[in-house]
Chain A
Amino acid sequence: MASEPQPSTVHEGADNEDAPVPTNAEDRKTAAAMSNLEGRGDEDDSRNGKHVDAEALGKAMQSLSVESGADKAAEKKVKVEAVDVSLLVEQLELSKIKATELLKAHEGDAVKAMTAFVMAAV
């Protein structure tokens, strides 16, 4: 149903979170706020929270940005061919995302990925 006729700009924005640079100031502000959110989490030590002053909610709020650990930089870069992705999508009825994940887990080798998929233990 997403293909219902809509103004092209609208559709694009709704489709994609990181839409092209917003045109008005308000939107830019929002976008900035959102991207700020994603920036946190480089320091990973949840215990920092312990030193928070018992009464200072404000401080607690600051520490909030420190809490969320789990940075995703560790993900390996594996080259995945688009042809292979569509092959997996077609053959295994997977979503594009899942197919890409599966390929990445097998060094982008479609045969290995599909074999592993088929032979998986129950």
Chain B
Amino acid sequence: MPQTLSSKDQANFRSLVRLYEAKQYKKAIKTADQILKKNANHGETEAMKALTINSQGNQEEAFALGKVALQHDMKSHITWHVYGILWRSVKNYDEAIRAYKMALRIEPESAQILRDLALLQVQMRDYQGHIQSRKLMLQAKPTLRQNWTGLAVAHHIAGELKAAESMLETYEGTLKQQPSRADSEHSEAALYRNMIIEEEGDNERALEHLNSIKKTNLDRTAVLEVEARLLLKLGRLEEAEKAYRGLVDRNNEYRAYFEGLEKSMGLDRAKESDIPKLVELYESYASKSERLDAARRIPLDFLEGERFEKAADAYLQRMLRKGVPSTFTNIKGLYADESKRKIIIKLVEGYLSIAPEKSESESNGDKPDRLRESTLFYLNQHYNYHITRDLDKALKYVEEVIKLAPKNIVYIQAKARVLKHLGNVTKAAEIMEFARASDEKDRYINTKAAKYQLRNNDNDRAVKTMSKFTRNEAVGGALGDLHDMQCMWFLTEDGEAYVRRGKLGLALKRFKSIYDIFETWYEDQFDFHFFSIRKGAVRAYMDLLRWEDHIRDHPFFSRAAINAINIYCQLYDDPSLAGPQVNGSIDFDKLDANEKKKALKKAKKEQEKQEKVEAERRESERKAMLKSQKAQKKDPDAEVKQADADPNGKKLLETKTPLDDATPYVNFLLEFAPKNIESQFAGFDVFVRKAKILLALKCIQAAHQINPDHPGLHERLTRFRKTLDASESSNPKVAQVIKSCISIIPASSGLSEANESYLTKHKSSPQHIYSALRTRAFLDPSSKAQNEKELLTSLDHASLEDAIDGLALLKRWGSKEDVKSKYVDAAMKKWSEATVLSGGANASAGAER
């Protein structure tokens, strides 16, 4: 029922709204209570109170009251609007949209509700709904340019280019006079319109339009770039060449301009006859200034043989004599070509025999043997690089260069890198730490040191190192700040270190943080739906929307997701992983059942004790923080960030539904990184455990498309066959689908034999051997001893990375300590430096204090 208030209370209600908007929540609640005293069950007041409570951070109470308010007055747009806002604040946009629509039905004139609805719709990518809402907004206020632009954008993202353009055109047509030149909104809108025309594919008209706005437009660079591009697309090469030359004059290090210039001159790198012309082109630019890099570097991409050697020699000498540290980084792109690789290393090794030039050094006051120094460093990087790796040489060169410049952090860091590649993570971390200590103000080296500590599984020290540059008074200390700052590389490496240490809860926690960060990035666009349109920055806004639609194709996301999915699958296979872990220094397998129980009990007690200590520590931290906040007289209404209730990821780990928890990761992974075979494998691993046969089949056949020889495929094909044979109750239609897709799946009979012949066929490829051994263990659990033996012999062909995987495999199988140490010993004979195999710091899982 609509409820009316006395005039005095109406005034009170208005002041309640004002107080809320001014964020004076305490006063607002007081006022609301005052009204409610006299008018119990007044829905709109209750709604406003709920909104205020929500802003204070108490969502549950707010929701409860919001619903009561709705029951008391469901004919009020305020109660519905508030209800929508509450849903929005918990990010349930579907429910929020429904509530807003109800509110609008009651109060169709409300611009505020309509706006909120439109913003939600674009966030949800409800294109048609968004168009409708934007249309209504425009009808309400057609004089406002942003409403026209808003509708144009709505059409544009819905793919309706013509409609979008005509919106902009119509508005321009209503202008009485040309807007002033300084009107940036108009300038943006003009370029935006041009962008739409170009997207329509009508280059001719786009150019025409561009010429009409060229003179007055404020974004000069954009205009010139679009002009050059359109001319090129239209085949008006002469004009295009002129345009690109103009662009190169504006920025002569930007590769894209040179690319355009080549095309507009009709030059083709693949054509032998064009090469001299290309050389001439770049020489003409290179001769303009000694400092230009692009014009000197680009020709190395297309030159071959002798001409390449000459050009590379000039380029390398120029860079190395100057002592440019990034020379190798600039050059390594050429390493994909083997012949170029060989020429380069021959040249650089030759520079070692060039005697230092005395005269030059005296005049500049430089070190006399700078060429030698940078040559040695280049050689170190060359032999450290994965394609041309020879770690003994790399180590030799870096030690020589350190002798020349013992204090140079760059060289010390390079040495740490070599050691890391040798597998000596412990010493690598030490050296990096030494480099860090020699320049504590250098954030780069600090970050590197932390990363190397993580590679050495030393999570605690890594956080300590990071804390030298974080805001440590943040909730959760340094680690909390790293979360706030969305420091993804750290969270990923931290999580992977925890995986290696067998601390799956903490690992899951970190990967979940990465997941959440991407979620936040997606949420973050919300503010721009309003802001960008109001400011008229439409082109950037369109870029943002398009970028948001595929943010999760970022490698950081895949990496975290695959890690998380692996853990969830392990948890599903062995739920005891979620329980207390027995101290790794005891050989658990040797104990009999009774002793095992005791050990587990002891471990549990220890864990509880540890948790208690930690909880106390957190409590005291929290108190200290509150104290300091009070001391600073902080605004009590300010947002208070809650401390994490599950800092060790215990709850994540104790999940009853690991596969369901993995599902969101799988869905994003398959949607955004389907071409990564690891994504398909991760998807398969979850679906096959969930007995979702068709989905598992889809993943495995996608993986087969990507790379039919990938070692991960064999074991999964076998597993699929087994799962298929075990599930009988399949629907006939499903069975029919499987039948038509089955060509890649092995036959039911002779799986073991097929596996053995796979093993023989790939007997020199460790990864394929692992796949076959896993398959054998899966088909016949009693084969463990044999598998362990064959794993050991596979070391002959293995690389260090393979050996690390092999060791992980032993851990998965739950092999006994003596088997593992035998494997490690054998591997250490091959890679004497590889402490990574013995586990770095915190060697035995769970063995730290």
* A interface, size bucket: 35 or more
* Contact (Cβ within 8 A) A60 B171: yes
- Complex Cα distance, B736 from A114, in Å, reads 10
- Complex Cα distance, B737 from A120, in Å, reads 13
* Contact (Cβ within 8 A) B701 A31: no
Contacts of B48 in A (CB 8 A): none
With CB as the reference atom, state the residue of chain A lying closest to B158.
A70
Q: Does A93 sit at the interface, judged by CB under 8 A?
A: yes
Contacts of A34 in B (CB 8 A): 105
* Minimum C-beta distance from A22 to chain B (A): 8
CB within 8 Å of A: which B118-150 residues: 131-132, 135-136, 138-139, 142-143
Q: Does B102 sit at the interface, judged by CB under 8 A?
A: yes
Residue among B155, B160, B169, B695 making CB contact with A49, cutoff 8 Å: B169
* Minimum C-beta distance from A81 to chain B (A): 11
- Complex Cα distance, B98 from A29, in Å, reads 19
Q: Decide yes or no: A10 and B138 within 8 Å by CB, A118-B697, A122-B675 being known contacts.
A: no
* Minimum C-beta distance from B4 to chain A (A): 16
CB within 8 Å of B: which A26-48 residues: 26-27, 29-31, 33-34, 37-38, 46-47
What 1/0 flags go to B721-754 for Cβ under 8 Å of A?
Answer: 0000000000101101100110000000000000
Q: Decide yes or no: A115 and B737 within 8 Å by CB, A7-B74, A49-B166, A122-B706 being known contacts.
A: yes
With CB as the reference atom, state the residue of chain B lying closest to A19.
B105
- Complex Cα distance, B666 from A93, in Å, reads 12
Q: Does B170 sit at the interface, judged by CB under 8 A?
A: yes
Which of B173-181, B418-426, B483-491 contacts its partner? Answer: B173-181
* Contact (Cβ within 8 A) A7 B142: no
Q: Decide yes or no: A69 and B163 within 8 Å by CB, A27-B106, A33-B108, A49-B173 being known contacts.
A: yes
Q: Does B321 sit at the interface, judged by CB under 8 A?
A: no
* Minimum C-beta distance from A80 to chain B (A): 14
Q: Does B432 sit at the interface, judged by CB under 8 A?
A: no
Contacts of B695 in A (CB 8 A): 91-93
- Complex Cα distance, B160 from A120, in Å, reads 28
* Contact (Cβ within 8 A) B92 A15: no
* Contact (Cβ within 8 A) B160 A63: no
What 1/0 flags go to B63-102 for Cβ under 8 Å of A?
Answer: 0000100110010000000000000000010010011011
Q: Does A97 sit at the interface, judged by CB under 8 A?
A: no
* Contact (Cβ within 8 A) B98 A15: yes
Contacts of A67 in B (CB 8 A): 163, 166-167, 170
* Contact (Cβ within 8 A) B108 A91: no
* Contact (Cβ within 8 A) A118 B170: no
Q: Does A75 sit at the interface, judged by CB under 8 A?
A: no
Q: Decide yes or no: A122 and B92 within 8 Å by CB, A37-B136, A54-B176 being known contacts.
A: no
* Contact (Cβ within 8 A) A57 B142: yes
- Complex Cα distance, B155 from A68, in Å, reads 9
* Minimum C-beta distance from A98 to chain B (A): 12
Contacts of A54 in B (CB 8 A): 173-176
* Contact (Cβ within 8 A) A91 B734: yes
- Complex Cα distance, B170 from A110, in Å, reads 47
- Complex Cα distance, B104 from A22, in Å, reads 14
* Contact (Cβ within 8 A) A91 B131: no
Residue among B71, B136, B170, B706 making CB contact with A60, cutoff 8 Å: B170
Q: Does B692 sit at the interface, judged by CB under 8 A?
A: yes
With CB as the reference atom, state the residue of chain A lying closest to B87.
A1
- Complex Cα distance, B674 from A3, in Å, reads 35
Q: Does A105 sit at the interface, judged by CB under 8 A?
A: no
Q: Decide yes or no: A69 and B737 within 8 Å by CB, A14-B99, A37-B135, A54-B174 being known contacts.
A: no
Q: Does A111 sit at the interface, judged by CB under 8 A?
A: yes
* Contact (Cβ within 8 A) A118 B698: yes
- Complex Cα distance, B174 from A57, in Å, reads 6
With CB as the reference atom, state the residue of chain B lying closest to A14.
B98
* Contact (Cβ within 8 A) B733 A55: no
Q: Does B841 sit at the interface, judged by CB under 8 A?
A: no
- Complex Cα distance, B92 from A46, in Å, reads 37
* Contact (Cβ within 8 A) B173 A52: yes
* Contact (Cβ within 8 A) A114 B74: no
What 1/0 flags go to A85-122 for Cβ under 8 Å of B?
Answer: 00100011100000000000000001100110111111
* Contact (Cβ within 8 A) B736 A30: no
Q: Does A56 sit at the interface, judged by CB under 8 A?
A: yes
* Contact (Cβ within 8 A) B170 A64: yes
5 closest Cβ contacts across the A-B interface? A46-B166, A14-B98, A30-B105, A118-B698, A114-B737
List 26 A–B pairs whose Cβ atoms lie within 8 Å, in order of A's numbering. Answer: A4-B67, A7-B74, A13-B105, A30-B104, A31-B105, A34-B105, A38-B132, A46-B162, A49-B169, A50-B173, A54-B174, A54-B175, A55-B176, A56-B174, A60-B142, A61-B138, A67-B166, A91-B734, A110-B733, A111-B733, A118-B694, A119-B741, A120-B702, A122-B680, A122-B702, A122-B705
- Having A4-B67, A84-B733, A93-B695, one finds 10 other A-B pairs with CB under 8 Å, namely A14-B98, A27-B105, A50-B173, A54-B173, A54-B176, A57-B142, A87-B734, A111-B733, A111-B740, A118-B698
Chain A interface residues (CB < 8 Å from chain B): 1-2, 4, 6-7, 9-10, 13-15, 17, 22, 26-27, 29-31, 33-34, 37-38, 46-47, 49-50, 52, 54-57, 60-61, 63-64, 67-70, 84, 87, 91-93, 110-111, 114-115, 117-122
Chain B interface residues (CB < 8 Å from chain A): 67, 70-71, 74, 92, 95, 98-99, 101-102, 104-106, 108, 131-132, 135-136, 138-139, 142-143, 155, 160, 162-163, 165-167, 169-171, 173-176, 674-675, 680, 692-695, 697-698, 701-702, 705-706, 731, 733-734, 736-737, 740-741
